């Protein structure tokens, strides 16, 4: 008999230790570690069995599998923005963890996917652990899906769920909303604890793999942006997608964080309307809508999100500081990156920003992670500082190095093409990237380093403010 061993798991991040300790070294949480008995091997699974196994795994060769019929490995939902993120549809037997803030629209998104698949004649099951069947139906009604043959259940016990699912043909898609509410009898812990989440997920994933059903686990995100509890699930699932957006805007962005069967840098853009999520096939025009072109402090960046170019507006406000220490605040971009740009502008372009508060915002609630946005952020800052509005029809692309040099970005021609399509006439880009720009109808203004960027903008400054600019310089 194998000895049943006990381990200690952090209840907030899932890190496992051999003995108890007061502080989790992985997430630095105090008093988060609790003793757990290692769950007994689950019956009827395909996973590894410890001890007492029958020792008869089947081994395949890739070559031998080549001829095997792999029928329709994907089921497309027909919602283009969703299929783009999954890599062309839900893969048979694959498991997606969908994370997002409460109220962002996760249940709405999965219900719309269910409705689309059910209407196409597939068996889909929506299991809600949070809402009663009546509430789910009300939402479906609002989404105009009340006539879709989606099977609904309000259940939280995983054994019951799997028994229910095993009746009839294997569903094409199963939704578990949410994984934090699930519990299994195999684990002695309260629902929502790490061991319950892990145990329940393990059983459901095993079910998906054996039945060939695509499974979506919905998970809530904690305030610090972690998928609470389900973080321990991240490595078990095939794909992790996060649904983002901020409460003040209607845009919602579905982003693939991990994807074993598709690209990880794709995004899907949706708009929350009164009747559910609407696809946004042309997000650039949406993010640029209502742009105030005549004012200083805004610059347009031609971003790439996966294979898709996307134009976004950077807004900056540089204002004299009334306090002893100046404030730097940023929304939609990296705070450290802003500090770096300010330091580079001070060190290499001679700007003095120490006495100024600096605010930077990416319009529309989008979050930009690309280093190539540096030039646009710098241009917005300099424009606000000098009071010179930037040309309304110009985009800025380029990474700023600590030496002040501008470095090229990938996929320059796709970015420029998108900008040209939206009526932009010129682009500021790094000298080193001009060859990769391809033949473009746009006017190209190449700069070697940040001083070129700053002097170009200072030259646009109105007379009164230019004095400030030259004092600065």
Report the interface residues with Mg ion, using CB under 5 A. 107
Strand partners, 56: none
Cα 174 to Cα 182: distance, rounded to the nearest angstrom: 14
Site for ligand TYD in 107-126 (CB under 6 A): 107-108
Give the binding range for ligand TYD (CB under 6 A) out of 98-106, 377-385, 418-426, 441-449.
98-106
- Closest by CA position to 173, among listed 74, 250, 42, 36: 74
Residue 317: Cβ within 10 Å count: 17
Least gap, CB of 76 to ligand TYD (angstroms): 22
**Among Mg ion, ligand TYD, none, partner that 350 touches (CB below 5 to 8 angstroms by kind):** none
Site for ligand TYD in 250-289 (CB under 6 A): 272, 274-276
Residues near ligand TYD (CB under 6 A), total? 15
Nearest CA among 112, 123, 105, 126 for reference residue 83: 112
Shortest Å distance, C-beta 217 to Mg ion: 12
Residues 136-175: x where in contact with ligand TYD by CB under 6 A, - otherwise, as a string: ---x--xx--------------------------------
Q: Which is nearer to Mg ion, 177 or 313 (CB)?
A: 177
Q: Is 180 left (phi over 0), alpha (psi -120 to 50) or beta?
A: alpha
Instruction: State yes or no: residue 99 binds ligand TYD (CB under 6 A).
Output: no
DSSP per-residue letters across 262-317: S-SS-EEEEEEETTEEEE-S-HHHHHTTT--TTSTTEEEEEEEETTEEEEEEEEEE
Interacting residue with ligand TYD among 53, 103, 438, 448 (CB under 6 A): 103
| CB 264, min distance to ligand TYD, A | 22
Residue 357 bridge partners (DSSP): 319
Distance CA 387, CA 373 (A): 21
| Residue 106 binds ligand TYD (CB under 6 A) | yes
Q: How far is the CB of 145 from Mg ion (least distance, A)?
A: 16
Print burial letters for 118-145: b (CB count within 10 Å at least 16), e (below 16): beeebbbbbbbbbeeeeebeebbeebeb
Contact between 104 and ligand TYD by CB under 6 A: the answer reads yes
Which of the ranges 100-108, 160-168, 223-231, 412-420 carries the binding residues for ligand TYD, by CB under 6 A?
100-108
- CB nearer ligand TYD, residue 252 or residue 348: 252
* Residue 241 C-beta: closest distance to ligand TYD, Å: 13
Give which of 35, 41, 58 is closest to 1, Cα–Cα.
41
Enumerate binding residues for ligand TYD (CB under 6 A): 100, 102-108, 139, 142-143, 272, 274-276
């Amino acid at each position: 008999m194998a000895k049943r061993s006990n381990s200690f798991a952090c209840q907030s991040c899932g890190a496992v230790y051999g003995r108890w300790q007061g502080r989790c070294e992985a997430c630095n949480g105090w008093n988060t570690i609790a003793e757990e008995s290692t769950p007994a091997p689950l019956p009827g699974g395909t996973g590894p069995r410890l001890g007492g196994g029958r020792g008869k795994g089947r081994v395949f060769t890739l070559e031998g599998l080549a001829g095997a019929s792999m029928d329709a490995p994907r089921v497309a939902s027909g919602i283009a923005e969703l299929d783009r993120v999954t890599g062309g549809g839900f893969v048979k037997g694959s498991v997606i963890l969908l994370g997002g803030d409460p109220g962002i629209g996760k249940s709405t998104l999965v219900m719309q996917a269910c409705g689309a698949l059910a209407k196409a004649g597939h068996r889909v099951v929506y299991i809600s652990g949070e809402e009663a069947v009546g509430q789910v139906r009300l939402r479906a009604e609002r989404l105009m899906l009340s006539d879709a043959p989606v099977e609904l259940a309000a259940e939280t016990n995983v054994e019951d769920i799997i028994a229910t699912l095993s009746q009839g043909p294997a569903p094409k898609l199963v939704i578990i909303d949410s994984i934090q509410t699930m519990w299994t009898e195999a684990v002695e812990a309260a629902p929502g604890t790490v061991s319950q989440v892990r145990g329940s997920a393990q059983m459901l994933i095993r079910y998906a793999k054996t039945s060939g059903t695509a499974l979506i686990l919905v998970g809530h995100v904690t305030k610090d942006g972690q998928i609470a509890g389900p973080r321990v699930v991240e490595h078990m699932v095939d794909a992790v997608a996060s649904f983002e957006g901020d409460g003040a805007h209607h845009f919602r962005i579905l982003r693939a964080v991990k994807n074993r069967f598709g690209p990880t840098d794709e995004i899907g853009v949706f708009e929350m309307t009164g009747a559910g999520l609407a696809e946004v096939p042309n997000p650039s025009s949406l993010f640029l809508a209502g742009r105030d072109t005549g004012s200083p402090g805004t610059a347009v960046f031609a971003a790439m999100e996966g294979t898709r170019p996307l134009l976004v507006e950077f807004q900056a406000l540089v204002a004299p500081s009334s306090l002893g220490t100046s404030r730097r605040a940023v929304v939609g971009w990296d705070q450290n990156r802003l500090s770096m740009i300010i330091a580079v502008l001070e060190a290499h372009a001679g700007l003095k920003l120490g006495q100024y508060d600096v605010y930077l915002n990416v319009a529309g609630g989008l979050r930009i992670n690309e280093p190539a946005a540096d030039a646009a952020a710098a241009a917005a800052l300099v424009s606000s500082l000098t009071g010179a509005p930037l040309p309304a029809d110009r985009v800025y692309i380029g990474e700023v190095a600590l030496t002040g040099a501008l470095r090229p970005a990938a996929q320059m021609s796709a970015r420029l093409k998108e900008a040209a399509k939206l009526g932009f006439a010129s682009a500021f880009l790094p000298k080193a990237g001009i060859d990769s720009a391809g033949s473009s109808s746009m006017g190209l203004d190449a700069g070697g380093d940040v001083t070129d960027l700053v002097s170009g903008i200072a030259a646009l400054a109105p007379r009164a403010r230019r004095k400030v600019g030259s004092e600065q310089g």
